[in-house]
Amino acid sequence: MKLNCDLGESFGAWSMPVESAIMAEIDQANIACGFHAGDPLVMKQAILSAKQHDVVIGAHPAYPDLQGFGRRSMAIAADELSAMIQYQVSALSGMAKICGAKVSYVKPHGALYNDMMKDTAVMRTVMQSIAEINTQHSDSPLALMVQATSHNAALKDAAQEWGLPLYFEAFSDRRYTDEGLLQSRLLEGAVLSESDALLQAKQLISSGTVTTASGATLAIEADSLCVHGDTKGAVSIAKKIRTFL
């Protein structure tokens, strides 16, 4: 299992403190593309840091929501959402090329990620958007990172329609619902403490299961484990998960 983190999320005078420290601990960096966080300089710095630490780069597109950090759902027409995703991925890919690096996958951010996991129409738009990019990069197609649930097989079938590789992701620092999705951040306890995040990470790595908010046990078949860069104790969590891995 790989370890990934959402990074490149500083913006202007607002700086996320963990980015350089956590890059040395992870395998995959999901780099913000400017719509929820990040700016041209931050994007370039994150790419160069990932390259320095031999970390695989993923684009982290979002709804256009700087004020809400991309964590508010938005009703956007499919053609407009597709263009927004392609715009963001293209910006990061172009910057990566300048830096002698490349983008290997796409992981939507925040509300866009949650919406695509709940709404098949949004998922279809996301998949089609990336597939259209891949028509220009057939030698090295971008993969899509999605949340690992009990419906992995159905997602694989949907992705196959677009010739789209998938990465399945689990979360170390977020509470799960009985449906296998992430509990809303508006609810107390949705973001786990460092000790609980480490227990959940160890459970996911050792047994491929997660304990939900109600105490149920769900099987989670995942390729990559996420630590959010804005979670309290993120660097410490990542370092300890690295020892588990």
Q: What is the pLDDT of residue 15?
A: 66
pLDDT of residue 12: 65
Find, among 208, 201, 243, the residue nearest to 226 by Cα.
201
Q: How far apart are CA 116 and CA 70, in angstroms?
A: 14
The per-residue pLDDT for 9 is: 84
In whole angstroms, what separates CA 19 from the centre of its chain? 15
Residues of the chain short of pLDDT 50, as ranges, are none
What is the helix (H) or strand (E) element at residue 202, kind and residue range?
helix 194-207
pTM: 0.94
Which structural domains are found in the chain, ordered by start?
A: 2-172+222-229 (3.20.20.370)
- The pLDDT score that the predictor gives to residue 229 is 79
Residue 18 pLDDT: 54
Per-residue confidence (pLDDT) for residue 230, from 0 to 100: 75
Element (H, E) at 190: none
pLDDT of residue 17: 52
